Amino acid sequence: MKRLIFNSVFKKEFQDLINLKQAQGFKYTSECSAFLRLDKFFYENKITEKVITRDIVKKWCRKTSYETVSNQAGRISILRVFCTYLNDIGIETYIPPKGLVRKTLRYDAHIYTDKELKQFFKAVDQSKSVPVSPYRHLVMPVFFRILYTSGLRVSELRLLKIKDFHLDKGYLIVRSGKNRKDRIVPVHPVLVQKCIELKETIHQESEEDEYFFMITPGVPMKLHTVYRNFRRYLEKAGISHTGKGPRVHDFRHTYCVNLLKMWLEEGKNLLNYLPYMKTMLGHETFEETAYYLKLTQSLYPVLTGKLEEAYSEMIEVVIPDEKEFY
């Protein structure tokens, strides 16, 4: 990694925080770039004492004319991370409160109906191989079924290697996921057998470091390959696609909503089950997981009473787009 050069009065603290997080096993690469921008802000505003005032925080947090609300929220988050760290090491600073930026929730996630899922997987099962993709008819039916039944992100699944599948025990391991943590994800027993068959068919001579969903040996499945096939299956399934979706990521949304709906109908206490979902999805905070409570509530009004009665506070605090690094 290229050596970072900080110039502000907080240059030591920036580097110390980065060293700390990397020693804890975090990659902390995107955060480093964000810290460089924050360091430049401090330097250009001639902050010469190790003090971050409320006025400085307000100036940093102010939305510019050219950025999105998500980018603004990201900038606020990285400042909150740094200010929290400074307080932890004895340097008093004003910490920007959460909720400064609240995006209006747009329920544009496409939750696939049972009929749509049946049609989609029927189309997937009709996949045919071509010279440049000789294993497509074998790989895609397993790939998309695990995507739907696990709640994995697309890139988490496509980058899995043979060594990440523990099929004898019925689970897989996502290494260094979105929040830079490993996690164990169970695989449905029927799909465990499908994975065993796939492995025996296309990985007879593969090393453990080979990508499990191999299209070309030694090369991970590309995102555009996933999306191109996804659109083809949608068309064959008769599922209309607008400029906004459905999207591949909507399988994750559908998995979560259907799981919550099942738990509610079974009378489960979600406060006991949400930690399980949080871990399964690789979420850093419960606010991220609570997004699916809100989504479930909007899609199934019959469940609104149950949700509002027991989980109204969790639903109210949902801010799904704000990333926390610390």
Find the CATH number of the domain harbouring 162: 1.10.443.10
Q: What are the residues facing 173 on neighbouring strands?
A: 184
- Can you give the pLDDT of all 326 residues of the chain as single tens digits? 557 899 999 999 999 999 888 887 777 777 888 899 999 999 999 999 999 999 999 999 988 766 677 778 888 989 999 999 999 999 989 998 877 775 544 547 788 999 999 999 999 999 998 888 889 999 999 999 999 999 899 989 999 999 999 999 999 999 866 555 788 999 999 999 999 999 999 999 999 999 999 988 888 889 899 999 999 999 999 999 876 679 898 999 899 888 888 888 888 887 778 778 888 888 776 667 767 766 666 666 655 555 555 545 444 434 344 333 33
Q: Which amino acid is at 3?
A: R
Residue 256 and residue 223 share a domain: no
pTM score, whole prediction: 0.63
Domain residues for the domain of 186 are 114-237
Q: 95-102 long-range contacts, Cβ below 8 Å, gap at least 24?
A: 95/57, 96/57, 96/60, 96/61, 98/319, 98/322, 99/319, 100/61, 100/76, 101/63, 101/69, 101/72, 101/73, 101/76, 101/319, 101/322, 102/319
Residue 230 and residue 203 share a domain: yes
Residue 255 and residue 227 share a domain: no
Residue 126 and residue 223 share a domain: yes
Separation CA 197–CA 263 (nearest Å): 32
Pinpoint the alpha helices (H) of 89-183: 114-124, 136-150, 154-158
Residue 211 and residue 135 share a domain: yes
Whether residue 198 is contained in a domain is answered as yes
Residue 288 and residue 222 share a domain: no
For residues 268, 271, 274 and 276, what is the CA-based torsion angle, rounded to 10 degrees? -80
Residue 129 and residue 166 share a domain: yes
Tabulate helix, strand, coil % of the chain (nearest 5): 55, 5, 40
Q: Which of 179, 208, 237 is the last residue of a domain?
A: 237
Q: Which of 214, 237, 260 is the last residue of a domain?
A: 237
Whether residue 262 is contained in a domain is answered as yes
Number of domains into which the chain is organized: 3
Residue 81 and residue 163 share a domain: no
The two three-digit tokens of residue 85, written as one number: 């760290």
Residue 269 and residue 225 share a domain: no
